[in-house]
Chains A and B, each alone.
Chain A
Amino acid sequence: MKTFYWLVKREFWEHRGGFLWAPVITGGVFLLLNIMGIITAEVLGASHGINFGASGGLHSVMADMDSGDMSKVGFALDIAMYSAMGLLAVVLGFVVFFYCLGALYDDRRDRSILFWKSLPISDTSTVLSKIVSATVLAPVFAVIVGIVVGILQLLILAVTLSFHGVNVWHLLLMAHPFRVMFNLIGYIPLYVFWALPSVGWLLLCSAWARSKPFLWAVALPVATGLVISWFGLMGLFDLPTTWFWKNVVQRGLFSTFPGTGSLFGTSSESIGHDVAGDPNLDFMNLTNTYHLLASPNLWVGVVIGCGLLAGAIWFRRWRDDS
């Protein structure tokens, strides 16, 4: 267990840039752009003589709202908090994608595998530590940064509105920052399961390729897809060609992007329905996102992912620096 902790720590040392600084910088840029946007809006508003605050207009609008409108404001504020996470999720997807591609390849290329293999560590724990780094460590950092940025974003909005005569605390009470946090943190285990086939495929390529793992990882499924499309092979299974692109190529390569599970994993109508029906029940609600657990897509992916990872462990054992 101690060894495993240090293996994960080693991954963090090596990939501090991707795991920590990438989300921190993205979050910082996000906030900066927001502040700039607000300043621009204020300046433009002032120069055109539009000012809600001075006349107390916005304040009276708030006072006139009923509870249904209030909950919509709260929902909008939650969305503001989520929006930061949305950007970070894309960054996280890229970080995990390229981390997995390099994880079992880079040390073979620079021959440092000979150093790692001179230590009493089994190849299974090495590969497991990389899986955990990709599916748990990286998302945890992204979510923490996402929460911090989301809260700052909320405060910036609140402070801006307070210049226009809106009570900051009154406004903040309508948002649900804790529920947002809870939803984001709760999403991580789902991500672990959903990302597994992609992580498995990328790690397998990373452990197996003698050179250019990226090319193999991407070209192999895409080339297969082209052949299948060309000859219409999916017709043999009574399935449209898009089935292969959607369920093999896209699922295998891009499941490292969080949220793709919720978008593609379950039938999209149910999600749309829930949000439209009641804005309080927001789309990130865990009872909503965990619908995915009922989808066979997720579990087939988990099984295939485990198989691919077993392959990665086997190749890690026998591939050396040559």
Chain B
Amino acid sequence: MSAVITANGLSKRYKNALALDNASFQIPAGRIVGLIGPNGAGKTTALKAILGLTDFTGELNVLGFDPRKQRDRLMGEVCFIADVAVLPRWIRVREAVDFVANVHPRFDRKKCEAFLARTKLQSGQRVRQMSKGMIVQLHLALVMAIDAKLLILDEPTLGLDILYRKQFYQSLLEDYFDENKTIIVTTHQVEEVEHILTDLMFIRDGRIVLDADMDAIGERFIEVLVNADKAEAARQLKPLDERQVFGKSIFLFDGANRATLEQLGETRRPSISDLFVATMKGTYA
């Protein structure tokens, strides 16, 4: 499978901090990748580098283009939603559709109008008169009508209520995603994207600390529920993390032998949020 994005030794320094520190990764086509990291870990910088919105050092190839030099051509193949508030406030629904329809060669107007018909948006309505949820509906309708190879979502559901959030990811999965498309999403609401991701990337202090597909994560990371009497034995196996629930200890192991762990207690697959917390321990300390 050909890679949509190949990054090699990406670095980006702001005045006093390293936002990307020699990050390397590959993203193949047809995946939904979650790029997860604490605040200030470099998620947005990584996305901006991919979109050619910022300068950096290192090698980066996105769909065969160098984002630094061929940004306008690259944007013909890439779509981008950066949280909800980036549509210009003066624009009307019909102006937004007209504009994108006329400047974007891959825009399907009928599709967009069909998406809009499912919402309460009116063609004369201005963005400034809309709620956050409605703005994201408009943006999503515009973006889903574009037949792009890569869709980048940076905190797309920030500040939306649960109904809009669910609807957002559902529309993406049902009406947009297929094996020719790739989606990269960053979010803090990990639980909501957990079940739609095919790949997971953790980023911390500008470095990729975990990069694996979801199946591999299920095999590599194991959570064990251990009674107090066996807790000491579990600690011997060097768990990533330990926490207490109802008098029992929950240990998180990376790459331990499954059979050994099953003797200690009930094993299960850790949730991404638990994995995240364990991996990022001490970030803000």
Contacts and interface: CB of A to CB of B under 8 A. Distances in A.
Interface size band for A: 20 to 34
Given A114-B86, A117-B53, A13 B91 contact: yes
Interface in A264-322: 317-318, 320
A10 B75 contact: no
A115 interface: yes
Given A6-B103, A111-B86, A114-B86, A121 B72 contact: yes
Interface of A: 2-3, 5-7, 9-10, 13-14, 107, 110-123, 317-318, 320
A120 B67 CA distance: 12
Interface size band for B: 20 to 34
B100 interface: yes
A115 B88 contact: yes
A196 B33 CA distance: 47
B99 A10 contact: yes
B73 interface: yes
Contacts of A120: 72-76, 103-105
Nearest to A110: B89
Interface of B: 48, 51, 53-55, 71-76, 78-82, 85-92, 95, 98-100, 102-105, 139
A170 B72 CA distance: 61
Instruction: Give the one of A3, A9, A115, A121 with max B CB within 10 A.
Output: A115
Contacts of B139: 115
A111 B91 contact: no
A117 B54 contact: no
A121 B102 CA distance: 11
Contacts of B81: 118
Given A110-B89, A112-B88, A320-B54, A3 B102 contact: yes
B103 A121 contact: yes
A77 to B, nearest CB: 41
**Per DSSP, are chain B's interface residues mostly helix, strand or loop, or mixed?**
mixed
Given A10-B99, A320-B53, A320-B54, A115 B72 contact: no
Nearest to B95: A13
Instruction: Give the one of B53, B74, B91 with max A CB within 10 A.
Output: B53
Nearest to B152: A118
Contacts of A2: 102-103
B202 to A, nearest CB: 23
Contacts of B75: 117-121
Contacts of B95: 10, 13
Given A10-B99, A112-B88, A120-B75, 9 more contacts: A6-B98, A14-B91, A112-B87, A115-B139, A118-B80, A120-B74, A121-B72, A318-B55, A320-B53
Contact of B82 (A14, A111, A121): A111
Nearest to B102: A6
B148 to A, nearest CB: 10
B88 to A, nearest CB: 4
Contacts of A13: 90-92, 95
A107 B88 contact: yes
A293 to B, nearest CB: 35
Contact of B51 (A107, A115, A117): A117
Given A2-B102, A122-B72, A14 B90 contact: yes
Nearest to B89: A110
A317 B52 CA distance: 9
Contacts of A121: 72, 75, 103
Contacts of A112: 86-89
